[in-house]
């Protein structure tokens, strides 16, 4: 049987790849390179859409939802709470990157230092966050679920993924409509 955390851990590998690019770009800008607003937009879209709405969505709406119904140890419940708080931190920090990028695009060159700082913060955060999920929480959390619950959760994750593409493109159309 495939554990429902398998797809989540696979998603971590793709998130890690984008975070490497984010860190690399922060270092490039810090060494005197110019800010590339298009790269920031691409990275933000990835973090918001894939890492947060898709990946964290499955964690929060499926895995954590089901685990909240279980008698977790105090330590496991604490770690799950930390992960939820970390997801919120990632959202807020991503908003800060968007705001700094917008200031930069409007001509505020002082925004460069904030762009670099926020990109580095995200670059430092995600590897630690992912390691906590992979090594500290996900596998031990599976002991709380029956095989049937794991299978049901896995199916729900697949259904989430199938619906997600429609959600993403509906959002794109809605944003485009608002822009016209």
* CATH code for the domain in which residue 170 is found: 1.20.120.520
**CA neighbor of 39 nearest in space, from 115, 124, 137:** 115
Q: How far is CA 47 from CA 3, 40, 44, in A?
A: 24, 10, 5
Quote the pLDDT of residue 48. Answer: 94
Number of structural domains the chain divides into: 1
Q: Which two tokens stand for residue 137?
A: 């929480």
Q: Which residues of the chain have pLDDT under 70?
A: 1-5
d(CA 119, CA 121): 5
Quote the pLDDT of residue 151. Answer: 93
| Residues with Cβ within 8 Å of residue 33, at least 6 apart in sequence | none
- Domain range for 90 is 5-179
How far, in whole angstroms, is CA 34 from its chain's centroid? 26
Quote the pLDDT of residue 99. Answer: 98
Q: What is the pTM of this model?
A: 0.88
Quote the pLDDT of residue 1. Answer: 53
For residue 82, the tally of other CB atoms under 10 A from its CB is 14
Quote the pLDDT of residue 133. Answer: 95
Quote the pLDDT of residue 59. Answer: 95
Quote the pLDDT of residue 176. Answer: 84
| Residues with Cβ within 8 Å of residue 48, at least 6 apart in sequence | 91, 94
Quote the pLDDT of residue 5. Answer: 67
Quote the pLDDT of residue 2. Answer: 56
């Amino acid at each position: 049987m495939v554990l429902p955390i398998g797809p989540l851990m696979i998603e971590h590998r793709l998130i890690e790849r984008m975070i490497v690019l984010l860190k690399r770009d922060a270092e490039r800008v810090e060494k005197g390179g110019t800010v590339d607003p298009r790269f920031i937009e691409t990275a933000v879209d990835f973090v918001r859409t894939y890492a947060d709405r898709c990946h964290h969505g499955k964690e929060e709406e499926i895995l954590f939802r089901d685990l909240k119904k279980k008698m977790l140890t105090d330590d496991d419940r604490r770690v799950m709470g930390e992960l939820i708080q970390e997801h919120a931190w990632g959202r807020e920090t991503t908003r800060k990157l968007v705001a700094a990028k917008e200031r930069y695009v409007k001509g505020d060159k002082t925004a460069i230092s904030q762009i670099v700082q926020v990109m580095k913060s995200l670059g430092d955060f995600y590897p630690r966050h992912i390691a906590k999920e992979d090594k500290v929480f996900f596998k031990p959390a599976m002991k709380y679920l029956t095989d049937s619950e794991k299978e049901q959760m896995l199916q729900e994750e697949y259904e989430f993924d199938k619906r997600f593409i429609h959600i993403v493109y509906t959002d794109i159309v809605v944003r485009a409509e608002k822009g016209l």
